[in-house]
Chains A and B, each alone.
Chain A
């Protein structure tokens, strides 16, 4: 599966990189990071132009973020209403929303690259919470620019090892994301435990 995907990269180049990023930003299980590493590697070998790929990757990611935000905005309302109507769920949801509103830009920015596994869900949540569009767009574009540069750059620099590098970074990304979720949940639990004392 990985090999078939990698073989598509030199032929489809910028189009594939952009499309993969677009779909991955909408929570579809596309290994966009491996595709970007491969894109960087094929740029190093001279098969693909780096600049065009960088632009396409960024465009795909930013459009994917916007699409996720719009979906969250459109479909999130009724779902949020339903959760909010339940006593315990409502309280937790209000807390999560308050947290997101308070730290909207860092939350969006860091979920583009550092905790990228959470990115698509932050898009949906940001749309559902109706975060101001401008702030979301700026944080999304700057975070994605960093993410795209890092992955294409790593692929370019370590072109001989992209498969092993992809596995390492993929697992590391999931570990960091899970740790951040654990941290947030742990703080919520701690807060609840102290409330009752």
Chain B
């Protein structure tokens, strides 16, 4: 049956095989990401995050974030960190490092309590 289908409907058979392979490939990739999602270490602070997002995700106190980024919660709430860093005239990696340190300090403090 397969041989005959291959001779008469080559394109369709190829498309079928490609779809099967694609399902397998993306299924395995999804599984890999799902596993890393469960096992991953906490992701570092990134340039796209906003002050409020950092507050929600890492539990760093508002005052600490406000001090590092020189913001008050009301006016610059919707600006991501990379823009806030540009506004401060400081390089992004340096600001991210300061935020990561604050996250770590907070985690250590939570651990102690």
Name A's B-contacting residues (CB within 8 A): 3-7, 9-11, 13, 38, 41-42, 44-48, 92, 159-161, 163-165, 167-169, 171-172, 174-176, 178-179, 181-182, 185-186, 188-189, 192-193, 196
Contact = CB atoms under 8 A, between A and B. Distances in A.
Contact of A7 (B15, B24, B30, B48): B48
B20 A11 contact: no
A178 B82 contact: no
B12 A178 contact: no
A182 B19 contact: yes
Contact of B78 (A47, A160, A179, A186): A47
A75 B103 CA distance: 55
A160 B57 contact: yes
Interface residues of B, number: 40
Contacts of B22: 174-175, 178, 181
Interface string B77-103: 111101100000000000000000000
Interface of B: 1, 4-5, 8-9, 12-13, 15-16, 19-20, 22-27, 29-30, 33-34, 36-37, 40, 43, 46-48, 50, 52-53, 55-57, 77-80, 82-83
A171 B30 contact: yes
Contacts of B43: 160, 163-164
A121 B79 CA distance: 36
Contacts of A41: 53
A182 B1 CA distance: 18
Contact of A3 (B19, B29, B47, B57): B47
A168 B26 CA distance: 9
Contact of A46 (B25, B48, B77, B80): B77
B49 to A, nearest CB: 8
A112 to B, nearest CB: 19
A165 B9 contact: no
